[in-house]
Structure 1
Amino acid sequence: MARVTVEDCVLKVPNRFELVMLAAQRARNISRGEAPTVDRDNDKNPVVALREIADETIALEAVRGDLIKSLQRLPEPEPASEEVMDLLPTESNIFAGMDISPDEQATEEGPASEDDIEAAIARELGGG
């Protein structure tokens, strides 16, 4: 196809608005690095996208799914308060004030056993 027209594509996607949205999404996908399924012939991404739609070389459902995902607005998660962050276990507050460090848990034979860890905690707490 030497030149693509909207009439060639309207046969595949009857709604012109949907055609424009799908072609724009496909052009964005190509610019992000997806490989075109037709020869580029020095055409820009929107023209390549229209040629792909006209030649039916792409799955329109996959492009439609990409389009829907790009238009969705998900609520941003609420930031955790400082009080909640203090309650979350981290390596720094689990081993803070103990003689045993995360690196010292492993011995030459392998990882430390639960008994070794419990004994180290008991020593730190004064339980002997």
Structure 2
Amino acid sequence: MARVTVEDCVLKIPNRFELVLVAGQRARDISAGSALTVDRDNDKNPVVSLREIADGTVDIPNLKEAVIQGLQKHVEIDEPEEDDFDAMGLDRDLMPGVALAEDDDTLEADGLTIHDGADSDLDLSDDAGQDTDEADED
């Protein structure tokens, strides 16, 4: 085959858009040093990749998978959290002086204790604010 036409390749991959992606991936593989399955005949990598697809000498499903992997931005790995300390987003190694108390409601660091607040005796009622409003009216 002297020249590659798209019609030769469409017999192997019917979708022309998919053909472009797969041929481009194969051309990148050739540029990266992958072995050729047809003679180069002084052709450039995209033409060689199309010739390989038309001849059926490359594994098309593997090329499709390589295209998908190349387009993925982030592969999410689901790892379980070890304890509540990690759930709060705190790193033990970065904060060596911080310790989580056994009741899981108190955080202690350098003599400072932070409580959860659910058991707090602090009065947050609005009674104190009423006295200041009356003084402002006079």
TM-score, length basis structure 1: 0.60
CA–CA distance in structure 1, aligned partners of residues 90 and 27 of structure 2: 42
CA–CA distance in structure 1, aligned partners of residues 90 and 31 of structure 2: 40
Query: Larger % of helix: which?
Result: 1
Q: Does 1:84 align with 2:97?
A: no
User: Which residue identity lines up with residue 40 of structure 1 in the other structure?
Assistant: R
Q: Deviations over 1:63-107 (max 9, x none)?
A: 111111101111699xx97753577xxxxxxxxxxxxxxxxxxxx
Between structure 1 and structure 2, the one with the greater Rg is 2
User: Which residue identity lines up with residue 15 of structure 1 in the other structure?
Assistant: N
**Structure 2 residues without counterparts, runs of 5 or longer:** 78-88, 97-138
Regions of 4+ moved over 6 Å:
none
2:34 partner SS = coil
Q: Does 1:29 align with 2:38?
A: no
Question: What are the equivalent positions in structure 2 for 1:3-82 lying under 5 Å apart?
Answer: 3-74=3-74
What is the CA distance between 1:36 and its match in structure 2? 1.0
Query: Larger % of strand: which?
Result: 2
Higher relative contact order, structure no. (Cα contacts within 8 Å, ≥ 6 residues apart): 1
- Give identity over the alignment, percent: 60
TM-score, length basis structure 2: 0.56
CA–CA distance in structure 1, aligned partners of residues 94 and 35 of structure 2: 44
Residue correspondences, number: 85
CA–CA distance in structure 2, aligned partners of residues 84 and 76 of structure 1: 24
Which residue pairs with 1:109 in the alignment? Answer: none
Supply the RMSD in Å over aligned alpha carbons.
2.3
User: Which residue identity lines up with residue 84 of structure 1 in the other structure?
Assistant: D
